[in-house]
Amino acid sequence: MKIAIVYNRDQRNVINLFGVPNREIIGQKTIKRLSDALKKGKHQVKALEGDKDLIDHLEEFMPRVLKGERPGLVFNVSYGIQGQARYTHVPSILEMIGIPYVGSGPQAHTLALDKVVAKMIFRQQGLPTPDFAVLNSWDFELPELTYPLIVKPKNEAVSFGLKIVHNEEELRAAAKVIFDEYQQPVLVEQYIAGREINVGLIGNNPPEAFPPVELKFPADGPAVYTYEDKTHRSGRRIEFECPASISEELSARAVQIARGAFQSLGCYDCARVDMRMDTKGKLYILEVNSLPSLGEHGSYLIGAARIGLDFAAVINRLVDEAAARYFGTPKPVKIDLKNADSGELMLSFLSKRRDQIEKRIEEWTRLHSRTSDPIGLLEGVNKLTDSFGGIGMQKVSEFTDEHAVWTWQTRAGFKKGTLLIGHLDIPLSREIPYQEFRRDPEWLFGEGIGLSRAPLVMLEFALRGLRHIRRLQRLPIGVLYYTDEGRDGKYSAEIIRKAAAQAKQVFVLRPGNTDNKIITQRRGQRKYQLLIKAEPRRLGKVLKQPDALNWFCRKLHDLSKLSSRKERVAVAATDIHTNAFPMLLPHRVQATLLLSYSDQTQADSLERQMREILGKDSIHWELEIISDRPAMKARPKNRQLAKILSQVAEHWEIPLKQESSLWPSIAGLVPTSTAVVCGLGPVACQLYTPQEAVQRISILQRTLLLAEFLVQELEGLPAYEKTSS
């Protein structure tokens, strides 16, 4: 499990510093011991400051989870930075953002830290606690209590401001210190002469008690545990005796009172209850420490050690207690590979490999393989071959040309099965700067991460998961990767057509969009190169025939009128370049024209109209088609395929919708006899830019979605046919 230790040491990373500062600082040695103990329990650990950046750091370390997936957990040892009820600050944040944690919640911490409210609750529950009074200002009236008295701040811990007073003068002096230094009311409590007993608690409903620990005070000094004692500044040594030398009856009574105090405040997982026992053997609750000290010499760990729990055992037991409280069982149940549901098996496989998946994506983004980079592409092909070969996929010679297309399949082949298509090249021009891999809490960024890398890794881990649950080789699956997406599939198109015709359904691993949609229909797109030539001329020279650039601008205006939203067509120009001699107007214009269309007949008609518009004048022009990416036509099989994907997604609470798209893809090459869905890759944004990114949670979601669908192949007919029948 991923566990973040959240603590407070550095108080500077806040927006402003004001109010009551936290005086409790956890030691670095304790944080290190916590981390080592959790790692000993086979957990993945990260230590984080509980400051204004905590949410971002937690989200980066333990991103959102899928339905049924166990999230990470926080081991909370944060005392807060400043302000009131500071123990509650981090737990409140964790409650808000939905991250489980070890220890009590905000309410219990609030009650435990407010000593007056806690004592009122103890009295209400019939639990013994010393008589007390509250001083709210420096001009207080004397309380009706008998000296000696204990004076302490109302809302502090660690014995801050604690003092025994024996008369009015000492009381007023001690109260003034608290008003001045701690800026809060003063709790005045009847001093109980006698022995101090601590009882540590672990667990819930009811908590298990450690043997009572007695604090042994030296004769020279007050018989109370002061802040100076706890920080080794008093010059005296406090001894701990465990178990305390009290009768079994008193020990049982101490445990009973401690449990009552724990439950009355609503504590969870752990606490330490401090008590005093008077000379008659009567016990009184002093306070409940809802964040007991985990320092190696503290009474909590001394009590734990008495029942055989060393530090690591205590820490991992606390994790188990919190896990049981949140998830119902202390540890994940071992899954039976033979009888378990395939979806649960896949979820278990993937959730344990979140970091591996993201690490693999990072590796791929560091491999540069733009369309114009043959060396990078060759390296990528070799990497792909190793990956698919390593999980038992076999190369299909019939659909591999070792130049632009490579295809692999399971032992079952992919005829009448599922073909998964992706591209290895990153279709970015050399002018666009390379983007290094980085992550933030919601997104991963990197070179081609949405267009190519994340879909590729998603596919790899879906297949690895199927292999892990012993389904892969029985499934009819093919994988086809091509390397000329940046050239509009010029060299790969024919093989892709033939391979797709063999399959029952095709998934094109283009990225999903930020609305969580998959594509069941795409427009086609033709790309033309328009070349215009004219005689060179000087600026200001008047001729009947316009210069080349001026002529092009007029024609482009007329061409754009062919665009029609109703007819679902569009004409536009990109990549306009001119050539001109010094001191002369451009005599040559070269432009790329894009024609978006719904079907081939419509495209042919529009091309004729384009040529008619260009041909009305005598200026020399040439229009050559560079590429033609067919439309992915809407058909019932596509919608049925998308429907069953949506049903799988709904089961796992994965957002998924359908739409049509203006942009073409290789999906247009899939014949009408084969169902096809495009955009099944992880959700991405800022495509074709240096800020390209994929949504972290969607990587896991779409991987699970794909694997779950593929498993259904073992049940007979593809799921979309079952639905239609």
Residue 724, pLDDT above cutoff 50: no
Q: Quick one: CA torsion of 361, 366, 372, 375, rounded to 10 degrees?
A: -110
CA angle 717, 462, 43 (to 5 degrees): 140
For 600, counting Cβ atoms within 10 Å of its Cβ (0-12 exposed, 13-18 middle, 19+ buried), the class is middle
Beta strands in 386-468 (DSSP E): 394-395, 405-409, 418-423, 438-439, 443-445
- The mean per-residue pLDDT over the stretch 684-711 comes to 94
Taking only the tens place, the pLDDT of each residue in 568-621 is 999 999 999 999 999 899 999 999 999 999 999 999 999 999 999 998 777 899
pTM for the structure as a whole: 0.75
Distance CA 518, CA 353 (A): 25
Residue 540, pLDDT above cutoff 90: no
Residue 183 has a pLDDT of 81
Residue 340 has a pLDDT of 60
Q: Which of 29-43, 56-70, 334-348, 551-565 has the lowest mean pLDDT?
A: 334-348
- What confidence category does residue 714 fall into, taking pLDDT thresholds of 50, 70 and 90? low
Print the SS3 string covering 591-629.
EEEEEEECCHHHHHHHHHHHHHHHCCCCCEEEEEEEEEE
Residue 261 has a pLDDT of 97
- The mean per-residue pLDDT over the stretch 694-703 comes to 94
b/e per residue 56-90 (b: at least 16 CB within 10 A): ebbbebbbbbbeebbbbbbbbbbbbbbeebbbbbb
- The mean per-residue pLDDT over the stretch 514-539 comes to 92
Which domains are seen in the chain, by residue range? Answer: 2-102 (3.40.50), 111-130+192-327 (3.30.470.20), 346-522+633-724 (3.40.630.10), 524-629 (3.30.70.360)
CA angle 700, 702, 705 (to 5 degrees): 110
Instruction: Please give the helix or strand (H or E) that residue 194 lies within, else none.
Output: strand 194-202
Beta strands in 232-282 (DSSP E): 239-241, 270-278
Distance CA 699, CA 356 (A): 12
- What confidence category does residue 200 fall into, taking pLDDT thresholds of 50, 70 and 90? very high
Q: Return mean pLDDT, the chain.
A: 90
Residue 698 has a pLDDT of 94
Residue 81 has a pLDDT of 87
Residue 158 has a pLDDT of 61
Distance CA 223, CA 612 (A): 104
Taking only the tens place, the pLDDT of each residue in 349-405 is 888 888 899 999 999 999 999 999 999 999 999 999 999 999 999 999 999 999 999
Residue 683, pLDDT above cutoff 60: yes
